[in-house]
Structure 1
Amino acid sequence: RKIKEPRQIAPSLISICTHNSSPMETPHTKKRRVKRKWQVFPGRNKFYCDGRIMMAKQTGVFYLTVVLILVTSGLFFAFDCPFLASNLSPAIPAIGGVLFLFVMGMLLRASFSDPGVLPRATPDEAADVERQIANGAGGPGYRPPPRTREVVINGQTVKLKYCFTCKIFRPPRASHCSLCDNCVERFDHHCPWVGNCVGKRNYRFFYLFILSLSFLTIFIFAFVITHVILSDRGSGGLWMLSWKQCSAFLHWCTVLEVVVCFFSVWSIVGLSGFHTYLISSNQTTNEDIKGAWSSKRGKDNYNPYSSGSILTNCCTALCGPLPPSLIDRRGFVEPDSAQPMAQSNGTNTCPLTQLQSHMVKSVE
């Protein structure tokens, strides 16, 4: 009998098999597969600068806010400040510049930061909770109502609601934002003007933004009118001028400033006053709208988070330590470990190697 020579296997195929069967990967390959947590974040947020900036998905109104502030302030500094500095005081442009920088700083700080998003449950934790829900179900297709837990805070009973999206029991004062699809700690509201949720970690910056914007709007409006009045001296009165004279005297940029400031100041000042009331009573917009601590719900219903002092409540909201972010959005996600192939005697084998061994042993 003749013994057949084993067929030669291409070296390229053997090298491919050897590479695939190796449990170790080169550092370059491993580095390419590593992702940061913001890249696989389950919410509807957008991230910039490698996860350092976190915003809501809808940011169109935020850009409108930035444009309105920049255009109005730019026109004021370009057309009104030179006249006011030479005729009244050079401190006017300086004060306006400080207010403008503070407003922009607080706006960007409130818009780009994590509002206090709560991390979702891990797959193991979620599976355990789902198993408990399934065991308590009354039948196939039955969905139990949202469960709650009760805790006592300063003598007041507070209910903790279960979030079926994040698979967690929300802490007190937390709520799920339907636009960002996240549970936010001390949720106040979702503000499209800043392009982000307003919660525990950025509420103070939001409040300082609207408060300083109120001062800036009043400041620009008052000194634009002052510019108009001072320039009108000796002309027989502004209202006595013809339309052509008014067009030559009042530049269209000044008119635009007056219109924008006039229609903005009422809403901005009103919003600042409303949030000043909320801070002084240690409430959130969400709680105030729902009437969570209203006396109509019962005589014994009261706000357990208020200290009873306006000064203490303001210091707690504005001067307390800033809590750290809980989602670690710039952390690294561990890559999934490679699944071993079929094993025979405890070692990884390759189908191509098995084929070669079988061909060497085959005889006729």
Structure 2
Amino acid sequence: MSAVMITRKVRKWEKLPGKNTFCCDGRVMMARQKGVFYLTLFLIIGTCSLFFAFECPYLAVHLSPAIPVFAAVLFLFVMAMLLRTSFSDPGVLPRALPEEATFIEMEIEAANGNVPAGQRPPPRIRNVQINNQIVKLKYCYTCKIFRPPRASHCSICDNCVDRFDHHCPWVGNCVGKRNYRYFYLFTLSLSLLTIYIFTFDIVHVAMRSVDSGFLNTLKETPGTVLEVLVCFFTLWSVVGLTGFHTYLISLNQTTNEDIKGSWSGKNRVQNPYSHKNIIKNCCEVLCGPTYPSVLDRRGLMQEDSSVSTCADPTSSSTSTSSSSSGGNNTVSQTTHAILCLQKPTAPLIPNEHTPDDAKPSIAASAEKSSSPKEEHPPATKVPPLASPETDAETSIAKDKTH
């Protein structure tokens, strides 16, 4: 038996560490917890479907046909921003290779020196200067890298994300450097859509109540009542979230930095990333360049796997005859290994179950195992001693003959 290494090419997303889910051959990247994301889709699609089914036909006739058209455009924009936020790479940083991690560990040990037993080693940090201000880069023990400025490790996705804002279960993904603007546009457009539907629900009920009364209108349009309730409870959270992120964008700050108080603590350290101008901060966050993904999740990598094979004595003769005849008899190594495993082997001691073609080989191997040159002469054969039962039977036979 021998092991043969087989190399095959696989996509990098199949071997990437972390707790992400990939679909469409690595094009779609999400977190594993997607239950709340499906709830978000259900609420948006369900509420808009009720609005198009109950209110739009009446409002298009009695007010303006532009009402359902604008609602449809706003709905499509909301869905596009939601899917763009949920299915994109938020800015995941690749982990260090084993060689890189070993080199970094050696650098840290050389810088810290020998730490006496019982003492805590110093924190693994590096200092960089940004806008004449010192910013500390922390070491990630999971990814084995010094995180860039404003990056943080997401405990849910188990990845370091550049310019990490927060992990949003409503979109089923982290919000970071590459999808923050789409997240903000999603919350802003969803707020407008919620206000739009809620407003025209009230208008629809008011216009119908003129003719048939308020209570009769509620009985005739149960879908409108359900839409009003959903929009009422959704409006406060969505609009409040949009206002909070508008405040953060104006300061060029992230949710993670605001929660930790990175720039508003006791030390009163100023934000080195702020331009001290609301318009400039908004332009940088919303209109800045689109950063490419550094993950290369759809790239190709080689994977080595070992396959056990056995040496076939007829393979040499087969290869010789095939080479002399000019033929190319190419057999896959995997198939050859399976055939070798299925080939029966003869037992060491022949018995009634041993095939006839296997017995001569066993006898030949036994003859080969015995040495032809023996120093001692062969032992004389001694007849076996007769057993007591055999002696008794012999004596009885003699008595009968006499």
User: By how many angstroms is 1:333 displaced?
Assistant: 1.6
1:30-49 matches, cutoff 5 A: 33-49=8-24
1:62-101 matches, cutoff 5 A: 62-101=37-76
Q: Which residue of 1 aligns with 2:132?
A: 155
- Specify which of 274, 295, 311 is matched with residue 244 of structure 2: 274
User: By how many angstroms is 1:351 displaced?
Assistant: 7.4
2:137 is paired with a residue whose SS is strand
Q: Is the 8 A contact 1:53 1:112 kept in 2?
A: yes
- Specify which of 317, 320, 344 is matched with residue 285 of structure 2: 317
* Matched residue type, 1:257: E
TM value normalised by structure 1: 0.80
Q: Which residue of 2 aligns with 1:174?
A: 151
Q: Deviations over 1:251-277 (max 9, x none)?
A: 221111000000000110111011011
User: By how many angstroms is 1:293 displaced?
Assistant: 1.0
Do the aligned partners of residues 281 and 94 (structure 1) sit closer, same or farther apart at CA in structure 2, a change above 3 Å counting? same
Query: CA separation in 1, counterparts of 2:33 and 2:84?
Result: 17
Do the aligned partners of residues 89 and 265 (structure 1) sit closer, same or farther apart at CA in structure 2, a change above 3 Å counting? same
- Specify which of 231, 253, 257 is matched with residue 287 of structure 1: 257
User: By how many angstroms is 1:297 displaced?
Assistant: 2.0
Query: CA separation in 2, counterparts of 1:219 and 1:203?
Result: 24
* Matched residue type, 2:240: G
Query: CA separation in 2, counterparts of 1:337 and 1:252?
Result: 62
Residue 248 in 1 paired to residue 225 in 2? no
Q: Deviations over 1:320-361 (max 9, x none)?
A: 11111011001112223879x9xxxxxxxx9778xx9xx9x9
Query: CA separation in 1, counterparts of 2:40 and 2:204?
Result: 25
Query: CA separation in 1, counterparts of 2:294 and 2:95?
Result: 10
Do the aligned partners of residues 252 and 141 (structure 1) sit closer, same or farther apart at CA in structure 2, a change above 3 Å counting? farther
Range with greater deviation from structure 2 (71-80 or 140-149):
140-149
1:297 is paired with a residue whose SS is coil
User: By how many angstroms is 1:131 displaced?
Assistant: 3.7
Query: CA separation in 1, counterparts of 2:120 and 2:30?
Result: 33
1:348-359 matches, cutoff 5 A: none
Unaligned runs of 5+ in 1: 1-15, 342-349
Q: Which residue of 2 aligns with 1:259?
A: 229
Range with greater deviation from structure 2 (271-280 or 303-312):
303-312
User: By how many angstroms is 1:140 displaced?
Assistant: 6.9
1:335 is paired with a residue whose SS is strand
1:1-364 matches, cutoff 5 A: 33-133=8-108, 136=113, 138=115, 144-235=121-212, 238=214, 241=215, 245=216, 247-249=218-220, 251-294=221-264, 296-298=266-268, 301-336=269-304
1:50 is paired with a residue whose SS is coil
Q: Which residue of 2 aligns with 1:344?
A: none
Query: CA separation in 1, counterparts of 2:289 and 2:252?
Result: 16
1:150 is paired with a residue whose SS is strand
Unaligned runs of 5+ in 2: 317-364, 373-402
Q: Give the aligned CA root-mean-square deviation in angstroms.
A: 2.7
User: By how many angstroms is 1:142 displaced?
Assistant: 7.3
User: By how many angstroms is 1:64 displaced?
Assistant: 0.3
* Matched residue type, 2:104: V
Q: Is the 8 A contact 2:125 2:138 kept in 1?
A: yes
TM value normalised by structure 2: 0.73
Query: CA separation in 1, counterparts of 2:12 and 2:118?
Result: 34
* Matched residue type, 1:322: T
* Matched residue type, 2:219: A
Do the aligned partners of residues 333 and 142 (structure 1) sit closer, same or farther apart at CA in structure 2, a change above 3 Å counting? farther
* Matched residue type, 1:203: Y
* Matched residue type, 1:313: N
The size of the alignment, in residue pairs, is 317
Q: Is the 8 A contact 2:124 2:139 kept in 1?
A: yes
User: By how many angstroms is 1:280 displaced?
Assistant: 1.0
Q: Is the 8 A contact 2:40 2:170 kept in 1?
A: yes
Q: Which residue of 1 aligns with 2:325?
A: none
Query: CA separation in 1, counterparts of 2:11 and 2:60?
Result: 51
Query: CA separation in 1, counterparts of 2:120 and 2:78?
Result: 48
2:304 is paired with a residue whose SS is coil
Query: CA separation in 2, counterparts of 1:220 and 1:194?
Result: 21
Do the aligned partners of residues 138 and 89 (structure 1) sit closer, same or farther apart at CA in structure 2, a change above 3 Å counting? same
1:283 is paired with a residue whose SS is coil
Q: Is the 8 A contact 1:189 1:286 kept in 2?
A: yes
Q: Is the 8 A contact 1:133 1:144 kept in 2?
A: no
Do the aligned partners of residues 232 and 247 (structure 1) sit closer, same or farther apart at CA in structure 2, a change above 3 Å counting? closer
User: By how many angstroms is 1:123 displaced?
Assistant: 0.7
Identity %: 64
Do the aligned partners of residues 196 and 145 (structure 1) sit closer, same or farther apart at CA in structure 2, a change above 3 Å counting? farther
Q: Deviations over 1:64-108 (max 9, x none)?
A: 000000000000011100000000000000100000000000000
1:228 is paired with a residue whose SS is helix
User: By how many angstroms is 1:144 displaced?
Assistant: 2.9
* Matched residue type, 1:118: L
